[in-house]
Amino acid sequence: MESIQNIKQRFGIIGNHFGLNRALEKSLQVAATEITVLVTGESGVGKENIPKIIHQFSPRKHAKYIAVNCGAIPEGTIDSELFGHEKGAFTGATSSRSGYFEVADGGTIFLDEVGELPLPTQVRLLRILENGEYMKVGSSSILKTDVRIVAATNVKMGDAIQKGKFREDLYYRLSTVEINLPPLRERKDDIPLLFRKFAADFAQKYKMPTVRLDEDAQNMLSQYRWGGNIRQLRNIAEQISVLEKERDLNPAILRNYLPELGSQLPAVIKSESKDADFSSEREILYKVLFDMKSDLNDLKKLTLELMENENHSSVQEKNLDLIKKIYGNEKDTLEKSLEVIPAEKNNSYNYEENSGTNSYEFAETVIEEEPLSLLEKEIEMIKKSLKRSNGKRKIAAKELGISERTLYRKIKQFDLQDLEDE
């Protein structure tokens, strides 16, 4: 069997990462068989090399090899491109045409971005995988083809299947053997090697001295996340080779060519997960605590008014809205809330005549109700918000500062359905 090192030299593959070597080993192992292979990995990791290796070391190496980018072909013409069409099959079909599966008969066809195939096309492809049969667009005649299919995708197929965008049975037929290529950020030791190779290639292409990285610049390059993987690294090497006057690169120079360096933090993704629900609950608790603090401030203000003004009825009238907010609309509670309690010994209301002045200390406000817990306060806020919005959840959720989904769950949890708009 061909050695891994010889494969790298033949196909221009740079790097010694374990994941890369394992992918090349699996490619050589399956090449001599007729097994269908699915190559997975992020965009730009070099997935297109795997089907070439498989084809070159297979019994089909002298037959046709066709690579098809499924994501680049419009949905309306993909069936015609893959399977061919008959004359008059659709507007513009002035003659019959052979599709890629007919042209590649006896050889290998590489379906890149196979996850982008429309569902009707997936059904046609499944039929070829099962028995090698297909029909041209606009024809009722069954044709046969003998092709080796190697597919590749950067889509998470499990998610695509759950969303109904990809057929589960087709996935299992395509992925008899799955070969995964690691992203460049996991191949830190390979990054300087790849940059050196690209820099040498562009120096030769543009007839200029090769750019070189000092040790600190190499470390910076290795720590960068490379969202575009090898493709992005190659583009940056070309930019530097063409634009940079300095041929010896330090971190200060390199930083100008690495987009968003230093701000590559994990993205915050909005979701309806349990974490999002917890965040919403935390927000409403913060709101409850804030409102309770506001109520305490209002209570202090009212107490100060009572201490400074002997005419309690005028204070009550002046602060009626404030009193209602704190104690509600119950008449008895409102009356008792402003009641001045006569002082007894050691009590908090005393009348003294010292130095010819009157000194009053009013008793603490009498509250008949027990203090509300956070849970009760939360329920009360939801009830009031639903009443103010006439039971409209969307408006109430916006007022409470939580999602409508979280509000709906709390309505069910606290059995508040009777307050919703019927």
Rounded alpha-carbon distances, angstroms, from residue 262 to 187, 223, 266 = 20, 10, 12
Question: Is 275 contained in some domain?
Answer: no
Query: Do 119 and 240 share a domain, yes or no?
Result: no
Q: What is the pLDDT of residue 259?
A: 82
Query: Do 216 and 80 share a domain, yes or no?
Result: no
Q: Final residue of a domain: which of 200, 233, 255?
A: 255
The residue range of the domain holding 409 is 374-419
Query: Do 233 and 326 share a domain, yes or no?
Result: no
Q: What is the pLDDT of residue 395?
A: 84
Query: Do 102 and 151 share a domain, yes or no?
Result: yes
Query: Do 194 and 239 share a domain, yes or no?
Result: yes
Question: Is 343 contained in some domain?
Answer: yes
Q: Is 331 exposed, middle or buried (0-12, 13-18, 19+ CB in 10 A)?
A: exposed
Query: Do 43 and 149 share a domain, yes or no?
Result: yes
Total domains in the fold of the chain: 4
CATH code for the domain in which residue 123 is found: 3.40.50.300
Question: Is 245 contained in some domain?
Answer: yes
Q: Which two tokens stand for residue 209?
A: 């001295």
Question: Is 369 contained in some domain?
Answer: no
Q: What is the pLDDT of residue 358?
A: 44
R_g over Cα of the chain: 37
Query: Do 241 and 152 share a domain, yes or no?
Result: no
Query: Do 135 and 13 share a domain, yes or no?
Result: yes
* 3-class SS letters over 94-115: CCCECCHHHHCCCCEEEEECHH
Q: Which helix (H) or strand (E) holds 37?
A: strand 37-40
Query: Do 233 and 354 share a domain, yes or no?
Result: no
Query: Do 178 and 191 share a domain, yes or no?
Result: no
Compute the distance between CA of residue 112 and CA of residue 130 in angstroms, rounded to an integer.
Answer: 20
Question: Is 260 contained in some domain?
Answer: no
CATH code for the domain in which residue 405 is found: 1.10.10
Question: Is 407 contained in some domain?
Answer: yes
What are the DSSP calls for 300-332, one per residue? HHHHHHHHH-S-HHHHHHHTHHHHHHHH-S-HH
Question: Is 270 contained in some domain?
Answer: no
Query: Do 18 and 153 share a domain, yes or no?
Result: yes
Q: Final residue of a domain: which of 193, 227, 255?
A: 255
Q: What is the pLDDT of residue 287?
A: 64
Q: What is the pLDDT of residue 408?
A: 79
Q: What is the pLDDT of residue 379?
A: 83
Provide CB contacts within 8 A for 79, sequence distance 6+: 85, 120, 121, 124, 137
Model-level pTM?
0.61
Query: Do 171 and 229 share a domain, yes or no?
Result: no
Question: Is 267 contained in some domain?
Answer: no
Q: Final residue of a domain: which of 233, 255, 277?
A: 255
Question: Across the 422 residues of the chain, what is the mean pLDDT of every consecutive 10-residue run?
Answer: 86 94 96 96 95 96 96 92 92 90 96 95 96 94 96 94 95 96 95 95 94 94 94 95 91 88 43 48 64 69 64 61 56 49 42 42 44 71 83 81 80 74 50
